[in-house]
Amino acid sequence: MIENAVEKYKNKERSPHVITDAGDYLLCPICANEYMAHETIEVFDHHEGNKQETHITISEGKMSSDHDLSGNPSGKRNGLKISFKCENCKRSSVLKIAQQEGLTYMAFEV
């Protein structure tokens, strides 16, 4: 969960890492390869006090939406999840971007 990652970021442990190389390419969190293909993208629109919350999923050329924010990496704000498949190790990972108390956190889930 991103809450655990947030605590690790606060404690400077920063695990799992979001790593870029000198060219600012995102690297696979498993094997550090720079070639990763985007797969599913999820957007969570959530603001405290809003009556309407939205979850949009885009995958394989199709878009769907609902109001289920159970997968939102941010507890009280907007969140993003981008799934990747590494072209080298063939493993999947999810980059989670969450906002908490005005700060933006990024962490990989593998």
Q: Which residues bind Zn ion (CB under 5 A)?
A: 28, 30-31, 33, 86, 88-89
Select 18 or 30, whichever has its Cβ closest to Zn ion.
30
- List 36's β-bridge partners, or say none: 86
Select 103 or 110, whichever has its Cβ closest to Zn ion.
110
The distance of closest approach from Cβ of residue 35 to Zn ion in the complex, given in angstroms and rounded to an integer, is 8
Strands 36-45 and 54-59: antiparallel
Select 6 or 36, whichever has its Cβ closest to Zn ion.
36
CA distances from 38 to 44, 53, 98, 102 (A): 18, 25, 18, 27
CA-only gyration radius of the chain, Å: 15
Of 21, 11, 2, residue with least CA distance to 104? 2
The distance of closest approach from Cβ of residue 83 to Zn ion in the complex, given in angstroms and rounded to an integer, is 13
The distance of closest approach from Cβ of residue 88 to Zn ion in the complex, given in angstroms and rounded to an integer, is 5
